[in-house]
Chain A
Amino acid sequence: MSALVVDALTVAFGRFTALDAVSLAVDPGEVRAVIGPNGAGKTTLLDVISGITKPVSGRVTLGDGIDLTKSSEAAIARAGVRRKFQKPSVFPALTVRENLEIGCGPTLSGRARPARIASVLAEIGLAPRAAVLAGRLAHGEKQWLEIGMVLAAEPALLLLDEPVAGLSDAETAHTAALIRALRRPDRAILVIEHDMGFVEAVADRVTVLHEGRTLYEGSMRGARGDARVIEVFLGR
């Protein structure tokens, strides 16, 4: 059974069709990258999965059959979906530890929290910075903290929107290693990214979107050799 099924999803903003009957299925344990030029509909896809945008038609189902297009953001999150936003979205007035505490979600028992927070701190490498206000972290550290916040609830589906945008090469390599380490048999990860080297390093399969439609689905190596993908990315 798939972890996430997107079925004939159509999203329109006024007369502009952002997504046009897009379908894709992500398996548990898979890291899937969604790539495509600006305006292809990548972020819109994540907006629908996380409940921020409602589609015109189509369904998005999570593994156990919940239709995400009919659920609130909070209900989707409680069903095990977590999203890392493109712009690092951490709570600047709270410390790193307090951010992670909130990241654990409303349902985790108070007794289980300290251990969970400690393990996430170690995983994202911010243990020495636990007492620092998140607003004072460097850009890369904010990205890692936000990944930690979405990890703290042990999500079944992790959505990552351009996790290496604006990062240095060294930070990108660190992030790629972090995401590879997040892979688990019971967790699906959906990454949106422009950086092809990064996608090749983390993704099992890629879906190429172009003008709201699926252009290609398969391996990154196959995408590099696909004539239509080359045309969209490199121009005629």
Chain B
Amino acid sequence: MSGALQTALPSSTGPATRALRDPLVAGLVGLCLAAAAALLVAPPAPYLVNAVGQLAAFAILAVSLDLVWGYLGILSLGHGLFFAIGGYVCAMHLLAHGVAATGVLPDFVQFMGWKSLPAYWAGLDHAAYAFVLALALAGLVAFVFGLASFRSRVNGVYFSIISQALVYVAMLLMYRNDTGLGGNNGMTGFPLLFGWPMGAPGVATGLAVATLLALAAVLAGARLLVGSALGRRMLACRDDETRLRTLGYSTTRLKLGIWCLSAMIAALAGILYVPQVGIINPRVLAPDLSIEIAVWVAIGGLGRLGGAVIGAILVNGLKFWLSAAMPEAWPFILSGLVLLVVLVLPNGLLDLPGLRLRPTWLRAAR
């Protein structure tokens, strides 16, 4: 599948001007804000609120991957790792918060026969600390892995394979029950969020609204980044790294910085996702889920932030619906979508003529 995704890289002419003055991103940011307002004013059925919130979290994850893959040419097939770091730390906070409020230890701690939470859980009942820890941990793991790879100039498909191996190693680690992180059952049964019972009216709405606002902020921030001088250097690095280096730029520093930023955005998505699904387990570290993130981006339109959001929402929306209606058909439908994109729409669904929002795209495209 990674071979197919490689061929789905954008044609190298065009995306820069598309990224600048991007009406699609502006429209999506507006849509997020409008949806957030609508949820607050007239909340629909709870399952729908929840679905909107989860889709927004996936969209944030897709934007984080598009930043490094579409704009910097680094295809990560292990972004689930950073999503999981955010998710796991968030779950730890929710459980530690519950323990602090009720004194009841989570199930998995009792199963292990422990009398208290492991020492490294200390302080995690404070939301601000947990939030900072999640982002810092994702940034740190990304920094160490990125530094080792980029300094020794591990690029292209080799980097992709190593990133995939990394997420797999993390999955094996988390399946162990003695990590103090729930083992193969993961962590669930979160009682409270900021002192509110999880099931209280408004909690789901609040989470969905927060995720929509986060998506709007991430999109707007990413748009500013790719439209800046730094963003132009990212495109330059993507298209000809040696050329950029021999013009006096340290591409290692550039790649490392954006890579860590991307990892922290993915962790943010994980933080917002876990309280909405109410569970995290090592399954989020499965390699195929990390590949699926790349599929969302490729289907939506690689190298265009709006494309990443549309891809994530469309594929996951379809998945929500179909995996209930006919679960056994889903893998075939997903594969069919990938083939369609690779063969017919090399730049993703944004290639569909009806979605060409700016006439200049037509000139820039070929």
- Find chain A residues with CB under 8 A from B238 CB: 93
A105 contacts partner chain B, Cβ-Cβ < 8 Å: yes
A189 contacts partner chain B, Cβ-Cβ < 8 Å: no
Within 8 A of A (CB), among B206-262: 229, 232-233, 235-236, 238-240, 242-251
Check A135–B12 contact: CB distance below 8 A: yes
- Find chain B residues with CB under 8 A from A101 CB: 229, 232
A25 contacts partner chain B, Cβ-Cβ < 8 Å: no
Count of interface residues, chain B, beta-carbon cutoff 8 Å? 25
Q: Which of B13, B240, B242, B248 contacts A107 (CB 8 A)?
A: B248
- Least CB separation from B242: chain A residue: A52
B157 contacts partner chain A, Cβ-Cβ < 8 Å: no
Check A94–B245 contact: CB distance below 8 A: no
Check A74–B250 contact: CB distance below 8 A: yes
Shortest distance between the CB of A54 and any CB in chain B (Å):
13
> In the docked arrangement, what's the CA distance between A153 and B244, Å?
13
Check A93–B235 contact: CB distance below 8 A: yes
A127 contacts partner chain B, Cβ-Cβ < 8 Å: no
Count of interface residues, chain A, beta-carbon cutoff 8 Å? 32
Of listed A77, A82, A101, residue having the most chain B CB within 10 A: A77
How many CB-defined contacts (below 8 Å) exist between A and B?
A: 85
Check B236–A91 contact: CB distance below 8 A: yes
- Find chain B residues with CB under 8 A from A89 CB: 240, 242-243
Q: Which of A74, A82, A136 contacts B249 (CB 8 A)?
A: A74
- Find chain B residues with CB under 8 A from A193 CB: none
Within 8 A of B (CB), among A146-195: 149-150, 153
Of listed B15, B236, B243, B247, residue having the most chain A CB within 10 A: B247
B7 contacts partner chain A, Cβ-Cβ < 8 Å: no
Q: Which of B15, B229, B246, B248 contacts A93 (CB 8 A)?
A: B15
> In the docked arrangement, what's the CA distance between A150 and B248, Å?
10
**10 nearest A-B pairs in the assembled complex, by CB-CB distance:** A135-B13, A77-B248, A89-B243, A93-B16, A91-B236, A73-B245, A105-B248, A92-B12, A78-B248, A93-B235
- A positions within 8 Å CB-CB of B: 50-52, 72-74, 76-78, 82-83, 85, 89-95, 98, 101-103, 105-107, 133, 135-136, 149-150, 153
11 pairs, CB–CB < 8 Å, chain A vs chain B: A51-B246, A52-B246, A72-B250, A73-B246, A77-B245, A78-B248, A89-B240, A102-B244, A103-B247, A106-B248, A153-B248
- B positions within 8 Å CB-CB of A: 12-17, 229, 232-233, 235-236, 238-240, 242-251, 364
